[in-house]
Structure 1
Amino acid sequence: MTFAARMTRSPDAYDADLGQDAAAAFADFAPEVQAAIKGAAGCSPFLAGLMHKEGTWLMDAIDIPEQALQAEIDQIAHLPLSDLNIGLRIAKRRVALLLGVCDLAGVLSLEGVTQTLSDLADAAVDATLKRLVEAEIARGKLPGLTLGDAATAGGMVSLSMGKGGAGELNYSSDIDLICLFDETRFDPDAYHDARASFVRVTRKMASILSDMTGDGYVFRTDLRLRPDPSVTPVCLSMEAAERYYESVGRTWERAAYIKARAAAGDIAAGERFLKTLIPFVWRKHLDFVAIQDAHDMRLRIRDHKGLGGPISLHGHNMKLGRGGIREIEFFTQTRQLIAGGRDPSLRCRGTLDGLAALTKAGWDEADVSDALTARYRTHREVEHRLQMLNDAQTHDLPNTDEGFDRLAAFMGTSSKALKTELRDALEEVHAISEGFFAPSQSGASATPDFGADVTDRWPAYPALRSDRAVEIFNRVKPGLMAALQQAAKPQEALLALDGFLSRLPAGVQVFSLFEANPQLTQLIVDIASTAPALAEYLGRNAAVFDAVIGGDFFADWPGEAALREDLTSNLHAAPDYEARLDAARRWMKEWHFRIGVHHLRGLVTAEQAGCQYADLAGAVLGALLPVVGDHFAHKHGRAPGRGAVVLGMGSLGAGRLHAASDLDLIVIYDGQDQDASDGPRPLATRTYYARLTQALVTALSAPMAEGRLYEVDMRLRPSGGQGPVATSFARFEPYQMEEAWTWEHLALTRARVVAGPTGLAQDVEQVRARVLAAKSGGSTIRTDVQDMRARIAAAKTPSGPYDAKIGQGRLQDIELTGQTLALVSGAAVRRTADQISQSSIAQTDKADLQAAAALCWSMQASAQLLQGGTLDVSTLGEGARRFILRETGQPSLDALSDALAAVSRAAAAVTQRIMKG
């Protein structure tokens, strides 16, 4: 397709004579192309000058612009050092000329223009570095390197930052570079010589690219984005740079590295370095502190450049002024910093790519993203026209009407229409940006003296010891106190919030989270005033608030299989074993918190919450067992035989946990007669699986930086606490058939494989079914259970009238009754409700047991969520009382006590009849 056929627009010649003179040299071009040439030259003396110098080349290149541009960029790699100065400048002016004409005619998109300029910069820097390093090697200034090392610049890399890194360079951009070298390529004794050489290379490179000669310049080069530029050399080692970012790196530097790209020299070394900075740039938790940091930076830029005040088009800076390009970039990069640690899809270098990713991930509304995308394109095109006029590094709109007339002609429109569009665009961008960085603080306020007796002690808490935390909290506090006063019992809510604040180890991140997401203020007040145990949990694990902001906090429950897949993906992304264990803890806590909040707010019932907690535990075990196994196998070889399965016992096996449940587990392995593993440190099969089991328990229960996953109880394994921690599959069935006690068969009624290889899991389930069938006719089952009930009653007495777990006819007793019914009948069902409903007892007895089980579970699940233990009504706040009554369907606590006593008596009577047979 010809250039003319691809044209979608054309500039108007502001200086008709200048434009006509330029167009006359291209009389063979199609009329449409001549019009574009005339308009370009008639608006831009710079382009007119380039046409005079490179007209012959342009005639050959214009109908195949992409091919011609790429050829110019590709030939740079072959320039010898002696030809770099002139060769690079010729390439730059040719690319600038052809790009300018293509841009003005609409033949290339904005992205095509900026990417080509970025490719040109990469090629120029790469060729210059490699030729200069080659010269240093030839002079013997880089100890240990040969001329062959010049192909990778001797381990030196140039990171392209800012617009260059994102492929967004404009016509007169500086190129922002950070130059580093890989110190591991040199002996320690040669380190200082190598650094000195790379510093010389960097300075010479900057001079070759930046110096203005008779042939112009290539790119102005800015090296000030490197670590601490006032005291560090222009090229420093990767190890020194990494130490700097780990210790004193700032938010603006994190934002800069969003666009960082290894662009020239030793690309592989540069990419390795960027990978080490991932934890620095992308925080593992939502990072709302970045909003204030970015806002402060915006204000400093405005003050430094004198760009405050209302928008005035004459002389307005399209890059740094209000509503300008930088505001769109700040908006995008700040939101990327907030959530990019959790969502790798947000780690885009390009501004438009970033906006699209934020929308797709639910962090921006589509209309906001669409508006900023459209305005960004407009702003960048205006910026390009301003720079094309005289190849000037400017972003300022004209100061005169004549200047606007020229700019409007350059853009193929009228001055009036251009001014209207610009004002609308700038104001829209500023409104969106200001609404994000500096939202209105108006809203309800608390009575001035409310809670002073409590709030007076807050400054002494760890969360409020830093000046920055206090500053942010003072902005959040009015809304928080107002929400507290709207609680049913404000003073109770305040005291509960006080407990939450007292346990926070630090406050900046949490308070920033509240400030950026006002809906969390009401949520924390709801939790604090209703569920002290959940508030206490939050005080220790405030990062779980991330889940609320993540976008799908109130979506439907995904189920165990989807949870396991999600966690597995998270674990695979972690760099090492310890990081995987911490990742599992963060992930589990967010989902655990979600279940609790859903239960608290009535989005799920106690029964549904119990199933979800069990799904969560199953997902954790299913995803974590292979991780533990792989880590263990690295030392001791692959697991002998078919591997091991984890059998969930008790409530986990029955598929119903509460907020504070531990996990009852049994590990069963099948070594298939293999004597030992075959790794570097082999272990006998029995020892292998015993230690693997201990490793799994440690992975689940060890306190780490992110806390622990679950407490684990293995006392239900064969032979109880005296038996081996892992049971051989070959031994499992004989033991159950010949040696196990009644209590072990009862436990087996609720057993369920929750992790491990499918084939072994199926075999274990078949054994379970055979054992239950074989033991169903046991003559001593009922008398053994009666003895167990008597021992339990003697050892554990109810803690009060609201104890839903302990006591005859209460939860523990009903679950034991269900297990008895299942064992007597040989039924393989695990859930108490199913064990009762599928038994042969009378329907009225079934109804009494089910009614008691339902009420007791509602009370137990609620008590564990609210208080982390047995329900103590004397300490319940008003919100908690309402929650308990809502969950149990009772009008008052007295009525609840009476109802619990009544259903328990009925259930106990049924149990007595069952035990008598």
Structure 2
Amino acid sequence: MTVTTQVPSLYADEFQKAAEEFKQRNNGYVDWLDEQLKNPVFSDQLSRTWFGSQYARSVCCRHPELFKALVDDNDFTQSVSDKAFAERLVLLLQGFDDAEQFDAALRKNRAKEMLRIIWRDVNRLAELNETMRDISLLAEVSIQQALEFHHRQLSQIYGIPMALVEGVQTPQHMVVLGMGKLGAWELNLSSDIDLIFSYPHNGETIGVAKCLDNGEFFTRLARKLIQSIDQMTAEGFVFRVDMRLRPYGDSGALALSFGAMEEYYQDQGRDWERYAMIKARVVSGSPEHAKQLMDLLRPFTYRRYIDFSAIDSLRSMKKMIGREAKRRGLDNDVKLGAGGIREIEFIAQCFQLIRGGRETELQERRVQKVLALLAEKSWLPAIAVDELLQAYVFLRNTEHGIQAFKDQQSQTLPSDDYPRCVLAFYLGFDSWALFSAELDKHRANVGRHFGDVITDPEDDNASDELDTQWCDLWSGELDSTAAIKLLNESGHEAAEESITRLTRLRQDSAVQRMQTVGQQRLTQFMPQLLQAVSGVENPSLTLLRILPLVESVIRRTAYLVLLVENPAALRQLVMLCAGSSWIAAHLTRHPVLLDELLDPRTVYRVPTKDVLRDELQQQLLRLPWEDLDAHMEALRYFKQAHQLYVSAAEVTGKLPLMKVSDYLTVIAEIILEHVLELAWHNLTEKHGWPQKAEGVPCDKEFIVVGYGKLGGIELGHSSDLDLVFIHDGGEGLATDGKRPVDNGMFFTRLGQRMIHIMTAQTPSGMLYDVDMRLRPSGTSGLLVTSIKAFESYQQKEAWTWEHQALVRARVVAGTAELGQRFETLRRKLLCEPRELIALKTAVVDMRQKMRDHMGSKPADQHKQFHLKHDAGGIVDIEFLTQYLVLSESAHHPELANWSDNVRILQSLQQCGLMTDEDTEGLTEAYKSFRRATHRLALQQQKNIVGADEFLPERRLVKALWQRWFGGEETQNSPSC
């Protein structure tokens, strides 16, 4: 595309302002600039560059010497070869031994090259492919030089990493795998870079007194490289580095051996990782090692057969793309929005996943080349490919125009007039309207072809004929007698109340003020809803539960369209709301979750922890770490969606009680893992890493311990999280960053940040309510405790009830090694001998206090039973198991293995401390009580039932309580 010779009216004025600013800040370059401006070609190009990119203008002002050098060397007028790109950087970095100076030189080189690249791009002296290649080359040579520099420096301290290869000690070097756009030579002007670090063989360093194993050496090298490239300094940064595509994501090691890489992808690689691996390319490493690593990874990425089994996963990806774009309001995002860059990439890569194993030509990283092959092989019509290629070039150039303006990592179209004017000019248009029309044309083409690539089979093509009486009922054309008769005949148990609520909705001022389109959508939806609820057992109750949801989306009637166009989703909504008022309220608070009803297979699935963790990782993968709000919103949506799934499965009887609690607990654990990673990254960016010993950074020496229902794997639908934070940072040491803080302060802030992320009220609500009162010394104690201080407190100061709580304690997030130390300590504390009379007295006293405070009042006990707190209820069972663990673990240490009551009861049976009959009875009573609490929670009711319910279960619990705690016989019996 050629740049128009016409310019916006403010163009000349902006250039004059920019020129004056340059001269004022750089007196020594005034004559030089004036001389250059006599050349009309240079003057035109400079004015275009400064108008199109405020970032390029700022580089010229801050670094006039770089600007002048580029002009004097004619670099703006010519392409740079791969070889010259590397040679120039090597020459610039010669002689540096200081890391800060080295990093500053990398950033200065970045500024110079970005100025050259943007200049050529905005003036269309370079085509899109050259611009993408140059940015990718800049990233690649920067990585290579940083890797070489830090490998050399670390080898001087720790020795040279070696490995025994075919009987010969061989030096080892790290291989850097470039993922995504870096791997495909497609980086944009403000890309981050996705990297994976690997090394050929395990071994250890040689040449120094204290050696390191290769894994530790290359992990340290990886950290140094990331710091050189990613860290923001006074000179800026080189590239933002994202490591979340590595095996195991954020919880994985920074560097893995080739063997570990192969094992991971063979045994645990996910479909989305196949999708990501298509673009993988070694950007630093010897040709031999590059080939070796790619040969190991290729079988994972490309199947040897035509892999139509990939279609289901591709459909899921397609749905996720659409839902995410809609949920996050990405209509103006040229990458992620409808008809955007990612849809073009998806079209190309889905053919690669299906056919790439057999059609080796498709094992190509660049989107444009893949699309051309699709036309050549007649897998897509030539006209479709031509439209996609044109759209790709236009959208990528648009992306560059957005990012060149201020060097910001964004693909969002501007909303203000001035940046819109600049973007239109950058793309060669006289006005925003002309540019926008061209953009809409390309996005429409992409959206059409994207929709054609993988068409979902319709789950249900049948559409029941809508009874016109429901239309008349909603419109108010039926008189009250006829309306009530219609509802009564349809099974409504409260027809008059239903009519009253429908009339109130129809006459509501918000409905009356709706625009015509909204009124039409509501008129189309309500009769379908009325017909749908007539098919359930409690139609009036169901309708009354759903109407608040309708009221909540009156201004966002796209949700009504979703239900109208997807009858299966409407049926799911009605069925679930009929079964649970909690689900109805949950959807009313979060109507965005209506999208999740589109696929019943998703709603009722029971994913494993790995699948859930994988799903969350995919949703968070492209969010910058520094965008805390975006992470918080994504976490809340993830939790809300899966709360809907698990409650739906429970209401419909597809998931038993124990699996419900497992599911809810796993959701919390996965969220806590990411919250810890997010808080850790946030704090280490500011303060550096805490120290384990002088010069030795802690490897996240921090754990989150879950107590109560979380620790006991018994979370309910509205449970809060009882947490304790423990660290193992070095005492008297500080973090290693430029703004160091004491280790203790660092970990305290880490805990505070985690609590903030979980408890902050956002537009999507709160993630979890967090209770920290079980930490040592309760609310008066430190928020975060060292493992040593925790042990000392538990041994010397803890009350009996705190040891009871420890029975249900379990590490739910954090470092595995520290977690194991905690578990060893927990078992040791629980297995200590105790004086039984004192223990029994303390347990009984605490139980009585709780019953008095939280149980039914004496006046109410004849008419109600509190499932948790009344005599014979849940807490009695919990106190009984806790007492037996504390009293008997010294003789039966296996009792300390578990934190959940059901397995503790099984252990008591296996140890001979409880009969088979009593164990089975107590277990079933416990499950029955908990099932009832879940059922009541889903109906938004308290944990109270009638006094005549659960009588056999209560009698059994009371009898067993009496056996261990009450009467003369119990006092004389040391155990059972």
Q: Work out the CA distance in 1 between the residues paired with 2:528 and 2:794.
A: 61
Q: Work out the CA distance in 2 between the residues paired with 1:767 and 1:334.
A: 48
Partner of 1:457: 504
Quote the sequence identity (%).
Answer: 23
**Contact 1:669 1:729 (C-alpha < 8 Å) held by counterparts:** yes
Q: Work out the CA distance in 2 between the residues paired with 1:336 and 1:720.
A: 43
Q: Report how far residue 819 of structure 1 moved.
A: 1.5
Q: Work out the CA distance in 1 between the residues paired with 2:320 and 2:684.
A: 38
Q: Choose from 596, 599, 611 the match for 2:647.
A: 596
Q: Choose from 50, 53, 61 the match for 1:182.
A: 53
Q: Choose from 882, 889, 903 the match for 1:819.
A: 882
Partner of 2:960: 910
Between stretches 800-809 and 608-617, larger displacement belongs to 800-809
Aligned length: 564
Flag the 1:151–1:511 CA change in 2: closer, same or farther, 3 A.
Answer: farther
Partner of 2:826: 768
Structure 1 or 2, whichever has the larger Rg, is 1
CA-to-aligned-CA distance 1:460-515 (integer Å, 9 cap, x gap): 37688444333222222222110112221222121111233334474323213212
One-letter amino acid matched to 1:338: G
Q: Report how far residue 912 of structure 1 moved.
A: 2.0
Q: Report how far residue 692 of structure 1 moved.
A: 1.6
One-letter amino acid matched to 1:573: R
* RMSD value, Cα: 4.7
Flag the 1:835–1:469 CA change in 2: closer, same or farther, 3 A.
Answer: same
CA-to-aligned-CA distance 1:397-436 (integer Å, 9 cap, x gap): xxxxxxxxxxxxxxxxxxxxxxxxxxxxx9xx99x99999
Partner of 2:725: 667
**Contact 1:653 1:751 (C-alpha < 8 Å) held by counterparts:** yes
Q: Report how far residue 597 of structure 1 moved.
A: 0.9
Partner of 2:741: 683
Q: Choose from 319, 322, 332 the match for 1:338.
A: 322
Q: Work out the CA distance in 2 between the residues paired with 1:617 and 1:333.
A: 24
Q: Work out the CA distance in 2 between the residues paired with 1:794 and 1:519.
A: 49
CA-to-aligned-CA distance 1:627-649 (integer Å, 9 cap, x gap): 11110222232234342110000
One-letter amino acid matched to 1:900: F
Partner of 1:866: 939
Q: Work out the CA distance in 1 between the residues paired with 2:45 and 2:688.
A: 41
Partner of 1:836: 905
Gaps of 5+ in 1: 1-120, 130-135, 158-178, 191-237, 239-260, 277-330, 361-372, 386-425, 873-893
**Contact 2:705 2:811 (C-alpha < 8 Å) held by counterparts:** yes
One-letter amino acid matched to 1:808: A
Partner of 1:537: 586
TM-score, normalised relative to structure 1? 0.54
Q: Report how far residue 531 of structure 1 moved.
A: 1.3
Flag the 1:335–1:532 CA change in 2: closer, same or farther, 3 A.
Answer: closer
Gaps of 5+ in 2: 6-11, 23-32, 62-117, 119-126, 137-185, 193-314, 328-334, 356-373, 387-447, 474-482, 484-497, 693-697, 890-894, 971-976
Partner of 2:528: 479
**Contact 1:662 1:713 (C-alpha < 8 Å) held by counterparts:** yes
**Contact 1:700 1:711 (C-alpha < 8 Å) held by counterparts:** yes
Q: Report how far residue 733 of structure 1 moved.
A: 1.2
Partner of 2:123: none
Flag the 1:622–1:187 CA change in 2: closer, same or farther, 3 A.
Answer: closer
Q: Report how far residue 671 of structure 1 moved.
A: 1.7
CA-to-aligned-CA distance 1:593-633 (integer Å, 9 cap, x gap): 11111111111012210111011111111122011111022
Q: Report how far residue 785 of structure 1 moved.
A: 0.9
Q: Please state if 1:607 is matched with 2:658.
A: yes
Q: Work out the CA distance in 2 between the residues paired with 1:599 and 1:583.
A: 24
Q: Work out the CA distance in 1 between the residues paired with 2:319 and 2:621.
A: 25
Q: Choose from 644, 649, 653 the match for 2:711.
A: 653
Flag the 1:640–1:592 CA change in 2: closer, same or farther, 3 A.
Answer: farther
CA-to-aligned-CA distance 1:738-771 (integer Å, 9 cap, x gap): 2111100000001000111111111011100100
Q: Work out the CA distance in 1 between the residues paired with 2:738 and 2:904.
A: 48
Secondary structure, in 3 states, of the residue corresponding to 1:638? coil
**Contact 2:703 2:811 (C-alpha < 8 Å) held by counterparts:** yes
Within 5 Å, give how 1:112-127 maps onto structure 2. Answer: 125=2
**Contact 1:340 1:347 (C-alpha < 8 Å) held by counterparts:** no
Q: Work out the CA distance in 2 between the residues paired with 1:702 and 1:384.
A: 47
Flag the 1:515–1:775 CA change in 2: closer, same or farther, 3 A.
Answer: farther
Flag the 1:530–1:433 CA change in 2: closer, same or farther, 3 A.
Answer: closer
Flag the 1:154–1:589 CA change in 2: closer, same or farther, 3 A.
Answer: farther
Within 5 Å, give how 1:202-601 maps onto structure 2. Answer: 338-339=322-323, 341=325, 347-349=342-344, 353=348, 443-445=465-467, 447=470, 448-449=472-473, 450=483, 451-459=498-506, 460=508, 465-504=514-553, 506-549=555-598, 553-554=602-603, 556-575=605-624, 576=626, 577-601=628-652
Q: Work out the CA distance in 1 between the residues paired with 2:622 and 2:800.
A: 45
Secondary structure, in 3 states, of the residue corresponding to 2:602? coil
Q: Report how far residue 900 of structure 1 moved.
A: 1.2
**Contact 1:444 1:482 (C-alpha < 8 Å) held by counterparts:** yes
Within 5 Å, give how 1:681-830 maps onto structure 2. Answer: 681-776=739-834, 778-798=836-856, 801=864, 803-826=866-889, 827-828=895-896, 829-830=898-899
Secondary structure, in 3 states, of the residue corresponding to 2:702? strand
Flag the 1:151–1:748 CA change in 2: closer, same or farther, 3 A.
Answer: farther
Which has the higher relative contact order, 1 or 2, with Cα contacts under 8 A spaced 6 or more apart?
1
Secondary structure, in 3 states, of the residue corresponding to 2:723? strand
Within 5 Å, give how 1:43-82 maps onto structure 2. Answer: none
Q: Work out the CA distance in 2 between the residues paired with 1:825 and 1:686.
A: 37
CA-to-aligned-CA distance 1:29-73 (integer Å, 9 cap, x gap): xxxxxxxxxxxxxxxxxxxxxxxxxxxxxxxxxxxxxxxxxxxxx
Flag the 1:346–1:336 CA change in 2: closer, same or farther, 3 A.
Answer: farther
**Contact 1:818 1:832 (C-alpha < 8 Å) held by counterparts:** yes
CA-to-aligned-CA distance 1:497-550 (integer Å, 9 cap, x gap): 123333447432321321232212112212322211221111111112333336
Flag the 1:729–1:153 CA change in 2: closer, same or farther, 3 A.
Answer: farther
Secondary structure, in 3 states, of the residue corresponding to 1:753? strand
Q: Work out the CA distance in 2 between the residues paired with 1:479 and 1:529.
A: 16
Secondary structure, in 3 states, of the residue corresponding to 1:763? helix
Flag the 1:187–1:667 CA change in 2: closer, same or farther, 3 A.
Answer: closer
Secondary structure, in 3 states, of the residue corresponding to 2:584? helix
**Contact 2:579 2:652 (C-alpha < 8 Å) held by counterparts:** no
Secondary structure, in 3 states, of the residue corresponding to 1:667? strand
Q: Report how far residue 775 of structure 1 moved.
A: 4.5
Q: Work out the CA distance in 2 between the residues paired with 1:152 and 1:595.
A: 63
Flag the 1:526–1:336 CA change in 2: closer, same or farther, 3 A.
Answer: closer
Q: Work out the CA distance in 1 between the residues paired with 2:380 and 2:659.
A: 52
Q: Work out the CA distance in 2 between the residues paired with 1:588 and 1:751.
A: 23
Q: Report how far residue 905 of structure 1 moved.
A: 2.1
Q: Report how far residue 683 of structure 1 moved.
A: 2.5
**Contact 2:572 2:597 (C-alpha < 8 Å) held by counterparts:** no
Q: Work out the CA distance in 1 between the residues paired with 2:385 and 2:44.
A: 34
Q: Report how far residue 903 of structure 1 moved.
A: 0.8
One-letter amino acid matched to 2:56: R
Flag the 1:520–1:333 CA change in 2: closer, same or farther, 3 A.
Answer: closer
Secondary structure, in 3 states, of the residue corresponding to 1:730? helix
One-letter amino acid matched to 2:52: F
